[in-house]
A and B are shown apart, each in its own frame.
Chain A
Amino acid sequence: MRLPVRVEFFAGGLRPIVTACVKSESPKIFGIVNAIIDTGSPTTILGAGDVQRMRISQVQMQKLIGAEKEVNLGGAQIKTRILPDAELKVGEKYVKIPIQVPVKLVRGTPPPTILGIDFLLEGKFKFFFYPEKREAYLESEDGI
């Protein structure tokens, strides 16, 4: 099963980008995001702007787990906590992983959502990226 990935010029270069649906029952979170696939990132992190767009209430934010962790990403400094059961839907494929959610933007421009190695591992994806032809896709062998 192949899931198409767009190759777009963004923030100074070509990036592999997919549109994903992010969902969680507790805390209650739902929204659509553009996510950059980044094999240099071990973890998946929700964009700080995407969190704001989803209008997550303070009550729901308190359901995130773990201590606040400082993350520097794309020139921004943010503090994150963990959303333990995030469901990411890309194409017809659902991937359930814990993801980092920004709880505070300390400084800088809110960075976009990043899909890291954990997403590729859990989804059992191979990732093909050929920038010259602007071609990219995710390939999964489980057929789900």
Chain B
Amino acid sequence: MNTQESQLCEEITEFEKDSKWFYENTDLLRKRKLSGKFVAINNKEVIASGESFDIVVEEVEHKGKNPAYVVIEYVYPEGTVVLF
């Protein structure tokens, strides 16, 4: 595995960990009044949040992170069921 591939694997692993944290802590995020907002998670912490996806992406960039590697999810309000 070359350096680039190894770095990508690391990014994917971190992304998976943050995703898992998001899904397991959605209720906690609701309690923090983040329901109905987009949140960016990095190292199991909320690093940006807001009602607009664009603004959250910008905040992530301002923090020196590449949004393509950062988990940004919408915190659906309690009881919302979405059919895909």
Contacts and interface: CB of A to CB of B under 8 A. Distances in A.
Q: Which 4 A-B pairs have the closest CB atoms?
A: A12-B81, A31-B68, A11-B82, A8-B23
Nearest to B8: A21
A95 B11 CA distance: 20
Interface of B: 8, 11-12, 15-16, 19-20, 23, 26, 38, 53-54, 57, 67-74, 76, 79-84
Nearest to B40: A53
Nearest to A18: B16
A32 B12 contact: yes
B24 to A, nearest CB: 8
With most chain A CB atoms within 10 A of its CB, the pick from B12, B68, B71 is: B68
13 contacts: A6-B23, A9-B26, A10-B23, A10-B26, A11-B76, A17-B19, A30-B68, A34-B71, A36-B84, A41-B84, A49-B53, A53-B72, A110-B53
A49 B69 CA distance: 13
Given A11-B76, A21-B8, A55 B84 contact: no
